[in-house]
Amino acid sequence: MIGAGIVGLACAEELVRGGHDVRVLDPDPGGGATRAAAGMLALGGEAWHGETDLLRLGVASARLWLEYAARLQAASGVNVDLRTEGTLLVGQDHDDLRQVRRTIEVLATEGIAFRELDRPGARADEPTLSRVAGAVLLPEDHNVNPRLVAEALLRLLGDRVVRTRATVLDGRVCLAEGTEFGCDAVVIATGAQARSLVPQVRPVRGETIRLRVIDPPSRVLRARVHGETVYVVPRSDGEVVVGATEEEHAEQPVATLGTVVRLLHAARTLVPGLESAEIVEITARHRPGTPDNGPLLGVTHSPGPVRQVLAVGHYRGGVLLAPLTAQVIRAHVEGGDIPAVARPFVPSRFGPHEISTAADHWKDPMS
Amino acid sequence: MIGAGIVGLACAEELVRGGHDVRVLDPDPGGGATRAAAGMLALGGEAWHGETDLLRLGVASARLWLEYAARLQAASGVNVDLRTEGTLLVGQDHDDLRQVRRTIEVLATEGIAFRELDRPGARADEPTLSRVAGAVLLPEDHNVNPRLVAEALLRLLGDRVVRTRATVLDGRVCLAEGTEFGCDAVVIATGAQARSLVPQVRPVRGETIRLRVIDPPSRVLRARVHGETVYVVPRSDGEVVVGATEEEHAEQPVATLGTVVRLLHAARTLVPGLESAEIVEITARHRPGTPDNGPLLGVTHSPGPVRQVLAVGHYRGGVLLAPLTAQVIRAHVEGGDIPAVARPFVPSRFGPHEISTAADHWKDPMS
């Protein structure tokens, strides 16, 4: 396994459960997009027309999460803060609300539960809201703290996680110091850093801001605020995560003045009580985007002595998709049956896929 | 010396130069308001009607700074980034500009140099500005990096700086562990933390934000932007400091969403290029405010075996006033002549002053 973000860690833990001898190689476990992620397990909160396969993949993985979180907690002793209060999709003004309703139409066709709330209903449900136009309650859209999930998985994996850089060169796994790492198969789960190996992956910067506030919202708010999208995710420890921007560029992911101001301004318009919130942390990371916004899950046709399996390109869905990805990758490694819902996401949908073997991997500014 | 902010460090260094045996006691040298400060050496940029004594004190200290910075650099080897490009006072709209002109009237009566610039003149002088109404150039308003000044002073003082908490109890200096610290005289330079000893000092929260940007302004900008005051201070290393808020409250000083958004929004309105600036750091600290906004410089009438000298209450002027404060405090310690410009700032102007000897100093949330 190369990459110890939430996807790599979940795959590794599942393979360990299958009796495999696993090592996870990463110079900074849990330090990539996992560290920025808000952890929304949105059944269809990010649904778009034309992405039905991806919506179904998300629904299938979301439905694994209750049991998955319970198992991780029991095994590791780390409470991953799974919250099941549901999510409010909020429209600040009537144009925003129209956009929210368009999302709901997609969910309805997939049988996802929701309940529309008018202005008084929305504010009765969530008194921290400002005078919003309306909202839709998604009772099954839960959330989890990705940093705690990573902590739980790291505890379960113990010294199987090795702090080192690694890549694939000429069909072999190579460590940063130039030595070869012997193995039968390698799972590549390097998030946005997969770009050097998998050209379909592109970096999409995301910024999240962690606040602390006396009176946080009681559940996740996903909103359009005068055309800006923003989410507000309360944690059980009083922290509130505000996100997230999306900017496509290949520079180092840093928090910029313009995006931080836009996010915070939208957040306080939605929830006026955030005005006096303490700013605890600003985090910018790259998400791994792909041409169809879906992940690449499966074996490659690359030559070489080591079987190569991709678990990359999870874009905005790494946390949501982690439990299902782990099962799918285990099936790919073991040559077992691939769940039907995951079959559209084989890497070969972009044509015969080979891991790039360019010699300049180490020069990649992302890695 | 209790307190190793820029004021305490400057006083200590001056006393060492006078041949005194000095120790500076502080659990976190340079970690208070000095860490947040932007380091503007404003001859009169903060002048208000009715505060002529304070304006004159500032002018006298500002005129020491060129030589002071040169001496510190030569002695310590630390370049304190003194910049002499001057300062632009900017009015974003015409109401803002009227307010700028009112400040200038005060400066004119004190013979401070300035030059008015119309809209084209302002943008010719500083091309990073937006379409502002006008500006006033203050060629003698310099700036310095307070963190580097503290570093230079810390190097010069070496192991005379002791990382420990200390206070004055029953006329004696006591360390946190309860032992007495023997000395003939104590200078109290604890900034906003003086509150527990000197009731006239009140905490006024300030927040500054450190940015990094490719094309920073060429000099300090102090502006009113649609009624909001904001400053933008470029450093030689490419960092840009944006500040500063003022909020009076006794809670822990934390950066809040509302004030950060107001500052950043004003800054990018003034300098549109800041939109893409990286946010490097947000710092919130307490400034030591006083009833007349002037510092308390001089001996107290407190009983006890140790002579007690105050160097507190510098409010927004700690960096500006440090060199002059150091000379004044040395004169007070040695019983020498007090410069006329500093005489209005003796602690007794608030009535006979005694150091509080309440036993609950250690419980103070500020200390």
The model's pLDDT over A213-233, given as tens digits with 9 standing for 90+, comes to 999 999 999 999 999 999 999
Q: What is the pLDDT of residue A361?
A: 41
Q: Are residues A149 and A74 in the same domain?
A: yes
Q: Where residue A253 sits, what CATH number does that domain have?
A: 3.30.9.10
Q: Is the model's pLDDT at B30 over the cut of 90? A: yes
Q: What is the pLDDT of residue A10?
A: 98
Q: Are residues A281 and A228 in the same domain?
A: yes
Q: What is the pLDDT of residue B108?
A: 83
Chain A hits for B260, Cβ within 8 Å: 264, 279
Chain B hits for A268, Cβ within 8 Å: 257-258, 261
**Is ipTM over 0.85?**
no
Strand order in the sheet with B185-188: B185-188, B307-312, B296-299
Q: Is the model's pLDDT at B252 over the cut of 80? A: no
User: Is B256 close to A279, i.e. CB distance below 8 A?
Assistant: yes
Where is pLDDT greater, at A73 or B197? A73
Residue B234, domain extent: 87-139+203-289
Q: What is the pLDDT of residue A221?
A: 96
Q: What is the pLDDT of residue A248?
A: 65
Provide the 8-state DSSP code for B192.
G
Tens of pLDDT, residues B192-221: 888 878 888 888 888 999 999 999 999 999
Judge if pTM exceeds 0.90.
no
Q: Are residues A228 and A108 in the same domain?
A: yes
Q: Pick from A274, A289, A304: which residue ends a domain?
A: A289
Tens of pLDDT, residues A24-56: 999 999 999 999 999 999 876 555 556 789 989
- Find, among B340, B295, B326, the residue nearest to B51 by Cα: B295
The band of A358, judged by pLDDT with boundaries at 50, 70 and 90, is: very low
Give helix then strand counts, H and E, for chain A.
Answer: 9, 19
Q: Are residues A132 and A145 in the same domain?
A: no
Chain B hits for A261, Cβ within 8 Å: 261, 264-265, 268
Which whole number is the average pLDDT over A242-252? 74
Which of A261, A268, A278 is facing B255, going by the closest CB pair? A278
Q: Are residues B214 and B362 in the same domain?
A: no
Q: Are residues B285 and B171 in the same domain?
A: no
Tens of pLDDT, residues A264-304: 999 999 999 999 999 999 998 898 888 888 999 999 878 88
Tens of pLDDT, residues B142-160: 999 999 999 999 999 999 9
Q: What is the pLDDT of residue A249?
A: 64
Q: What is the pLDDT of residue A103?
A: 84
Q: Is the model's pLDDT at A209 over the cut of 90? A: yes
Q: Could you write out the DSSP letters of every residue in B112-167?
A: ---EEE-HHHHHHH-TT--S-SEEEEETT-EE--HHHHHHHHHHHHGGGEE---EE
Q: Could you write out the DSSP letters of every residue in A201-235?
A: -EEEEEEEEEEE-SS--SSEEEEEETTEEEEEEE-
Query: Distance, in angstroms, between A276 CA and closest chain B CA?
Result: 5
B interface test, pick of A207, A209, A279, A281 with most B CB neighbours within 10 Å: A279
Chain B hits for A264, Cβ within 8 Å: 257, 260-261
Q: What is the pLDDT of residue A64?
A: 96
Which whole number is the average pLDDT over A163-190? 90
B244 upstream amide cis, omega within 30 of 0: yes
Sign of CA dihedral B37, B39, B45, B47: positive
Sign of CA dihedral A169, A173, A179, A184: negative
Closest-CA residue of B relative to A247 is: B276
**Residue A352, both tokens:** 């015969």
Which whole number is the average pLDDT over B244-254? 71
Q: Are residues A120 and A153 in the same domain?
A: no
Q: Is the model's pLDDT at A237 over the cut of 80? A: yes
Are the beta carbons of B32 and B76 closer than 8 angstroms? no
Q: Where residue B61 sits, what CATH number does that domain have?
A: 3.50.50.60
Q: Give the count of beta carbons closer than 10 Å to the beta carbon of residue B354.
A: 17
Q: Is the model's pLDDT at A337 over the cut of 80? A: yes
Residue A49: strand, helix, or coil: coil
Q: Are residues B273 and B312 in the same domain?
A: no
Q: Are residues A121 and A239 in the same domain?
A: yes
Kindly state the percentage of chain B with pLDDT values over 90.
70
Q: Are residues B178 and B246 in the same domain?
A: no
Number of compact structural domains in chain B? 2
Q: Are residues B79 and B6 in the same domain?
A: yes
The single residue listed with the structure tokens 């001496």 is B71
- Find, among B201, B182, B155, B178, the residue nearest to B295 by Cα: B201
Which whole number is the average pLDDT over A238-247? 86
Q: Pick from B260, B289, B318: which residue ends a domain?
A: B289
Distance CA A334, CA A151 (A): 27
Q: Pick from B228, B257, B289: which residue ends a domain?
A: B289
β-strand pairing of B239-243 with B228-234? antiparallel
Which whole number is the average pLDDT over A303-307? 85
Q: What is the pLDDT of residue A9?
A: 98
Q: Are residues B178 and B126 in the same domain?
A: no
Q: Which residues of B touch A (CB under 8 A)?
A: 211, 254-258, 260-261, 264-265, 267-268, 274-279, 282
Which of A257, A264, A268 is facing B211, going by the closest CB pair? A257
Are the beta carbons of B347 and B338 closer than 8 angstroms? no
Where is pLDDT greater, at A194 or B352? A194
Which whole number is the average pLDDT over B280-285? 91
Query: Distance, in angstroms, between A270 CA and closest chain B CA?
Result: 13
